[in-house]
Structure 1
Amino acid sequence: MIGKPTRLLLASLSILMSTGALADFTASPAEARAIAKEAYLYGYPVVAMYKTLYTQAVDKGGANFKAPFNRIANSAQVLTPKDSAVSSPNVDTPYSFVWMDLRKEPQVLTLPKIDDNRYYSVQLIDLYTQNFAYLGTRSTGNNGGHYMVAGPGWKGQQPVDIDRVLYSESNIAYALYRTQLFDEKDLGKVKQIQGGYKVQPLSSYVKQPAPAAAPRIEWPKPMATMTEGPQLFRYLNFMLAFAAPQDSEKDLLARFAKIGIAAGAPFKVNQLSAEQRKALEDGISDARAEFAAFKKDKLDTNQVTRADLYGSRDRLKNNYLYRYAGADQGLFGSSSDEIAHLKYVLDSDGKPANGARHSYTVHFAKDQLPPTDAFWSLTMYDAKTKQLVPNHKKRYVINSRMLADLKPDADGGLTLALQHHEPPKAEQSNWLPAPTGPFYAVLRIYLPKPEVGSGQWKLPPLTPLK
């Protein structure tokens, strides 16, 4: 059942929406600019997530609609360059999706037993884009089970046959499933596994009457520019109504309130003065400039890796620049103990990778292949489109399951060729086709061993052939 605090919040939200009241804007222009910078970094991932939520679970007529709330959708296919719904698509693990509305009761996720040699995971994500828990090979094993996901205000009793209860900071949460695909012939098996993924409300699971329905939500329609200017704060206010405030953020949210950011309050850009709007726009520009410098100096040089950008609140320690960077680089990225993402953007000379200028090699020394308890893959992307690279070989990835077909070096190492032009036939087994222009490649290590996170294992450089 809905508790009293939730009913009061929803009632307040209804009043605010009906009266059109605008939260107070009390900051001076200089203060507003500083707050807007902070709030933009904080809010961008939340609003970027809303875009996906709306397209996958709300917009039933949209091309990317998956399933309504609390129902599972599966996508089992071998991705090609024609699949452009997401940037940097993962060709290793077909996805399943569940958007969960936890306002009235928890949802129970049932997982089937699957083969011991196949990796799978269920990534549980709150509205802040934080990975609050995982299910699957690493965390719960491959024997299946029943797992309950509850919102922050749930106080009920755990059924005896529930293996684990997992709490979300927000009353809306996302479950993102990954199921390893071995090759095209394996697609039928993946579909069979996906058919065993189940989700149901707790009341249905324990065969009891359902609680009263939660109030209907009026979802604001996304705008093309919703993440680019002060309009972002309108969507942030809407989303914050579904997320309980955290003690560690009380002072932060109090500062945000000075520019009209408050859970459930309308944020009407057209009611801002010209001076107020300019202060917010300048603050947003400051935030973007800070990220651009961070990306150039830290991310592109791998001084900060994608592994640092994703995880729970405890892991991220409220580092909002990192959380912003994670949303920019790839929304819903995995935590580092689940999947390590290492990216080739620059070559060993510090220059952007470009298939029109060079051919490149990546050399793994003997016994220095990516250390993993599952598998690894190296995928090529066009830097302009952030999509897979069309090529007549229809090869978009090289992974550890292909090792028997790859040609080793004389000393037992392995050298991969990342280039646009086709190499001699005897060397084509190790060829990952690149575009005629800028590119990047992503090394994904599933269930990485400790030496990856510790830095003991080093990513080999992308070396241009002179």
Structure 2
Amino acid sequence: MAALKRTAFAMALAATALTGLPGCRPASTARATTPSTGDALADASELPGRRALAREIYVAGVPLLARYAVVHARNIDRASAEYQGPLNVLHWVMVSAESSRAEPGATVSASLDLRAEPMVLRVPALPAARTYVMQLTDLLASVPAQISSRSSGNQAGDYLVVGPGWQGTVPVGITDVIHADTSLVSVSGWIQQLATDSVHSRQQLQRGFRVQPLSRYLGVAPPPMPTATEWPQPLPADLARQSALFFGQLDALLSFAPMQPGDRDLRQRLQQLEITPSQRNLAHAATRALRDGMADGQREIDQRRVAVEDCQSDSLQGRDGDYSDAVSRACAAQRSLKEG
């Protein structure tokens, strides 16, 4: 089987420029936005450009904040009502025939932390009559892979899930490599329940699906763990849509979405847009332009929600499971945050 294709999220602007952008610092040292020239903010005439860039970055960044909020609630914050269990573990929930699905089965979810090393997702061999799907989604709402009975058949497979920049050797026995653009990746799946299933057989089936670090898969010593993470507390929904704190949290979360090769020129241009002390009289207006840009972006998302079946993912995604544009991604991400 050819290597599973990575579906990178086209957010080069947000993924490269957020360090030091407005909202990541006090308003007095916030940055203006006129990326076409790279000149420092000189007067109020440049505020419309700042507002336009804020809109673009807001729409691009919504998925990252929204998806992180779900990961945080399910697998990081033990006090959360939605907490399912720790990172890098599959968590199962039975789905009855009375649920929204046409067929009973079991749902499974996990959040993979790929900072220290890749993870291996094992899918067992299944009877031809049983259907399943396992979808991986990164923090940018890209879908690096969808493994299912339809696309991959019902044979067993070991799938190596690697984070950005991984340069290791793919070991023998790996069915395919899944490249993710962020070092936190969500797994969600569904496995069909058959009429002949017993409680024991369902438990056996679930034990066949497994997530483990690459080092354990190889039987070698694990690499050093990353420095202890102070997981950012997700912003409340209202602040995430209205406050310049959005950009500060996005800046923090971009540590999970490293800069892609070739983006350095854009970062350097944006770093030239610092508001100097002599321009502090514009800082309040610049921050207002930032919030106005967020409002512009949210209006686009809301319009998409009305136009496309309340942002049902099936209506927004293409055949490969990815989204066609940033507004669709943001729309679906806000829906996923609402659903939990």
User: Given the two structures, how large is their TM-score scaled by the length of structure 2?
Assistant: 0.74
Counterpart residue type for residue 301 of structure 2: F
Does residue 320 of the first structure (1) align with residue 326 of the second (2)?
Answer: yes
Question: What are the superposed Cα offsets for residues 282-311 of structure 1, whole Å, 9 maximum, x if unpaired?
Answer: 111111222333344x424x9x97445236
Aligned residues between the structures: 296
Summarize the Cα distance change of 1:254–1:95 in structure 2 as closer, same or farther, 3 Å threshold: farther
Summarize the Cα distance change of 1:142–1:313 in structure 2 as closer, same or farther, 3 Å threshold: closer
Residue 219 of structure 2: aligned partner? 207
Residue 174 of structure 2: aligned partner? 162
Counterpart residue type for residue 161 of structure 1: G
Question: What are the superposed Cα offsets for residues 15-50 of structure 1, whole Å, 9 maximum, x if unpaired?
Answer: x9xxx9667513342222111111111111110001
Summarize the Cα distance change of 1:155–1:90 in structure 2 as closer, same or farther, 3 Å threshold: farther
Residue 457 of structure 1: aligned partner? none
Deviation at 1:91, TM superposition (A): 7.4
Secondary structure (helix, strand or coil) at the match of 1:212 reads coil
User: Hey, what's the Cα distance between the residues in 2 that align with 1:314 and 1:96?
Assistant: 18
Summarize the Cα distance change of 1:221–1:291 in structure 2 as closer, same or farther, 3 Å threshold: closer
Does the aligned pair in 1 maintain the 2:313–2:332 contact within 8 Å?
yes
Does residue 151 of the first structure (1) align with residue 163 of the second (2)?
Answer: yes
User: Hey, what's the Cα distance between the residues in 2 that align with 1:62 and 1:54?
Assistant: 9
Does the aligned pair in 2 maintain the 1:130–1:312 contact within 8 Å?
no
- Which of 275, 285, 308 aligns to 1:299? It is 308
Across the aligned residues of Structure 1 and Structure 2, the Cα RMSD in angstroms comes to 3.7
Deviation at 1:98, TM superposition (A): 1.8
Does residue 36 of the first structure (1) align with residue 43 of the second (2)?
Answer: no
- Which of 115, 121, 125 aligns to 1:109? It is 121
Worse overlay, 119-128 or 249-258: 249-258
Structure with more helix by fraction: 2
Deviation at 1:96, TM superposition (A): 1.3
Does residue 289 of the first structure (1) align with residue 302 of the second (2)?
Answer: no
Counterpart residue type for residue 322 of structure 1: S
Deviation at 1:168, TM superposition (A): 0.9
User: Hey, what's the Cα distance between the residues in 2 that align with 1:89 and 1:258?
Assistant: 53
Counterpart residue type for residue 94 of structure 1: A
Unaligned segments of structure 1, at least 5 residues:
1-15, 82-87, 261-271, 332-384, 388-466
Counterpart residue type for residue 75 of structure 1: V
Summarize the Cα distance change of 1:280–1:21 in structure 2 as closer, same or farther, 3 Å threshold: closer
Deviation at 1:181, TM superposition (A): 3.7
- How many percent identity over aligned positions? 27
Does the aligned pair in 1 maintain the 2:301–2:328 contact within 8 Å?
no
Does the aligned pair in 2 maintain the 1:170–1:243 contact within 8 Å?
yes
Higher relative contact order (CA 8 A, sep 6+): 2
Structure with more strand by fraction: 1
Does residue 59 of the first structure (1) align with residue 69 of the second (2)?
Answer: no
Summarize the Cα distance change of 1:63–1:291 in structure 2 as closer, same or farther, 3 Å threshold: closer
Residue 7 of structure 2: aligned partner? none
User: Given the two structures, how large is their TM-score scaled by the length of structure 1?
Assistant: 0.55
Counterpart residue type for residue 310 of structure 1: Q
Secondary structure (helix, strand or coil) at the match of 1:178 reads strand
User: Hey, what's the Cα distance between the residues in 2 that align with 1:287 and 1:91?
Assistant: 38
Rg larger for: 1
- Which of 291, 310, 321 aligns to 2:317? It is 310
User: Hey, what's the Cα distance between the residues in 1 that align with 2:171 and 2:83?
Assistant: 33
Unaligned segments of structure 2, at least 5 residues:
1-19, 34-45, 275-281
Does residue 227 of the first structure (1) align with residue 240 of the second (2)?
Answer: yes
Deviation at 1:100, TM superposition (A): 1.2
